[in-house]
A and B are shown apart, each in its own frame.
Chain A
Amino acid sequence: MKRVAYVLGLPVVLFAAWYLLSAGSESFYAPPLSKILESFGKTWTLDRFTADVVPSLLRLTAGYAVAAVLGVAAGVIIGLNRWVRATIEPVLEFFRAVPPPVLVPVIILFAGIGDGMKVIVIAFGCVWPVLLNTVEGVRAVDSIQIDTARAYGITGPARIGRVILPAASPQIAAGLRQALSIAIILMVISEMFAASNGLGFTIVQFQRSFAIPEMWSGIILLGLLGFVLSLLFRLAEGRALRWYHGLREAQRRS
């Protein structure tokens, strides 16, 4: 009971404060919350959802999936091979440091302004955290584990699939988590640049046409989306890495 009060207390207070303080708001840019909520219901109907939110989410998923697969695959190769790693490290450091959104103009040159562009932008931006974390994870695999596997004759795909990837998975998950927030940012940015549908496009459209309550409702929706996606990720990670969190817990107690 007390926990519920703690969890819900402040959000309820903040929400109420926003509601009451903005109730009589005459400001054009900060309309009353009641008006924003009203327009939220009116704006984000089912049609709107299938027309704008679903395409955005599909691009997000496609780009994220491509980045995850490429990042883990390349990360394992680079992580296992000391020569490749030493050669390619400075190049990777550079690419990771480039702010991903500046790649949008470049990718527009190559891929036009269609869905392909957005997927490539998301994939290109997300691949670096996954890749670098995978490299680190693979490097940090316990050498006794590797030697034991070798002694038992575990080689080739089995070695990668059963020894290296599981051992590196906590680190890979950290990379995937960072990539998720980059993916959302890039989804919105790429749609703000050039698009005919999507969440980012719609919100900018509202802003340009000075549909302020609708714009606020879009910002709230985007916030909810970010929250829900990170919640889903946490649940998935918690399930997949149950063994790891249990191990950590046990180590901490002993």
Chain B
Amino acid sequence: MSTATATAGTARAGRRRGLPAPVLGLAGLLALVAVLEVLPRTGVVDPRFLPPFGDMMAALAAELGSGEFWTALGATVRGWAIGLAIAVVAGVVLGIVIGSVPLLRAATSSTIEFLRPIPSVALIPLAVLLFGTSPESTLLLVVYASFWQVLVQVLYGVADVDPIADETARSFRFGPWARVRHVLWPTALPYVFTGVRLAASVALVLAVTAELVIGAPGLGKSIAVAQTSGAVPLMYALIAVTGLLGVGINLAARIFERRSLAWHQSVRGEVPA
């Protein structure tokens, strides 16, 4: 729950004196690039294992021109998006149903606690048997892994509903649907977003992993192919692309959350929790 609260509010850092944080951050990135260029060039690290940064970029540039790269990227993003969407819808619906019926909640909690920590990679052999190397294997793993993140957060959110607000709504004769819509949903929304944000990054990890290990089409498979064919600079370039994709997803999730929850205490408030 706390991964993504990390780095919120880092913009304030380093403002009091000297260089502003963005400049320092840029310097840090440039230093990383310089290290990647210098180490192999000077022979400290074997260039066969770690090619200079320039070579990686050249390989990436060549790759950007090929349709194959974009197909792979598209396949990864599609697997990620569809899997995430299924997991979010299923997680939210089940979470609200289970969370608002005390009996269901009590009866399912032990099962959820047991199923949640099961590592999703345990399902890899099963996915291979059922779907082979088709995109469905990726989907199975992505959905399984991200579903729990959403479900657990929604359950927390539903438990957080103010009983007075709920009883007030009842005494005003709100029906079950209206109570879900006007009382439960606004309370649970921040938790839903936390769940979605966590699930988004988990889903990317699982999408790439499934492609890498199973060989379903996508960036992960391209990395595996580059590795086996000894195209080391390309392999690094593709890994960097997955990293950038991850950064992009994290940023997008955070911005989306801030926008949609602009009214909420946690975003408005002065004290970041």
A54 within 8 Å of B by Cβ?
A: no
Q: Looking at the complex, which one of A105, A135, A206, A212 makes contact with B6 (CB distance below 8 Å)? A: A135
Rounded to whole angstroms, the CA-CA distance of A229 and B118 in the bound complex is 10
Question: In the complex, which residues of chain A have a beta carbon less than 8 angstroms from the beta carbon of B139?
Answer: none
A222 touches B6 (CB 8 A): no
Proximity string of chain B (107-147) to chain A, C-beta cutoff 8 Å, 1 when within and 0 when not: 11111001001111111111011100000000000000000
Question: In the complex, which residues of chain B have a beta carbon less than 8 angstroms from the beta carbon of A7?
Answer: 109-110
B227 touches A105 (CB 8 A): yes
Question: In the complex, which residues of chain A have a beta carbon less than 8 angstroms from the beta carbon of B242?
Answer: 98-99, 102
Decide yes or no: A181 and B14 within 8 Å by CB, A98-B243, A102-B220, A109-B49 being known contacts.
no
> Could you tell me which residues of chain A, from 137 to 186, have a CB within 8 Å of some CB in chain B?
171, 174-175, 178, 181, 184-185
Interface residues on A, range: 35 or more
Question: In the complex, which residues of chain B have a beta carbon less than 8 angstroms from the beta carbon of A109?
Answer: 48-50, 232
Rounded to whole angstroms, the CA-CA distance of A30 and B7 in the bound complex is 45
Rounded to whole angstroms, the CA-CA distance of A230 and B148 in the bound complex is 15
A91 within 8 Å of B by Cβ?
A: yes
Decide yes or no: A99 and B110 within 8 Å by CB, A82-B14, A86-B25, A136-B2 being known contacts.
no
Decide yes or no: A185 and B119 within 8 Å by CB, A10-B108, A174-B1 being known contacts.
yes
Rounded to whole angstroms, the CA-CA distance of A8 and B109 in the bound complex is 10
- Main secondary structure, interface of A, reads helix
A122 within 8 Å of B by Cβ?
A: no
B13 touches A86 (CB 8 A): yes
Question: In the complex, which residues of chain B have a beta carbon less than 8 angstroms from the beta carbon of A226?
Answer: 117-119, 122
Residue total for B at the interface (Cβ-Cβ under 8 A) = 68
A227 touches B125 (CB 8 A): no
A102 touches B208 (CB 8 A): yes
A204 within 8 Å of B by Cβ?
A: yes
A99 touches B24 (CB 8 A): no
> Could you tell me which residues of chain B, from 1 to 34, have a CB within 8 Å of some CB in chain A?
1-3, 5-7, 10, 13-14, 18-19, 21, 24-29, 31-32
B247 touches A86 (CB 8 A): no
Q: Looking at the complex, which one of B49, B109, B212 makes contact with A102 (CB distance below 8 Å)? A: B212
Shortest 8 CB-CB contacts between residues of A and residues of B: A97-B246, A207-B125, A98-B243, A230-B117, A86-B24, A223-B118, A222-B122, A86-B14
Q: A89-B21, A94-B247, A219-B122 are in contact. List 13 more A-B contacts (CB 8 A).
A: A6-B106, A14-B111, A86-B14, A91-B28, A106-B236, A136-B2, A175-B2, A188-B122, A188-B124, A192-B213, A207-B129, A226-B119, A230-B117
Interface residues of A (CB under 8 A from B): 6-11, 14, 29, 82-83, 85-91, 93-106, 108-110, 129, 132-133, 135-136, 171, 174-175, 178, 181, 184-185, 188-189, 192-193, 200, 203-204, 206-207, 212, 215, 218-219, 222-223, 226-227, 229-230
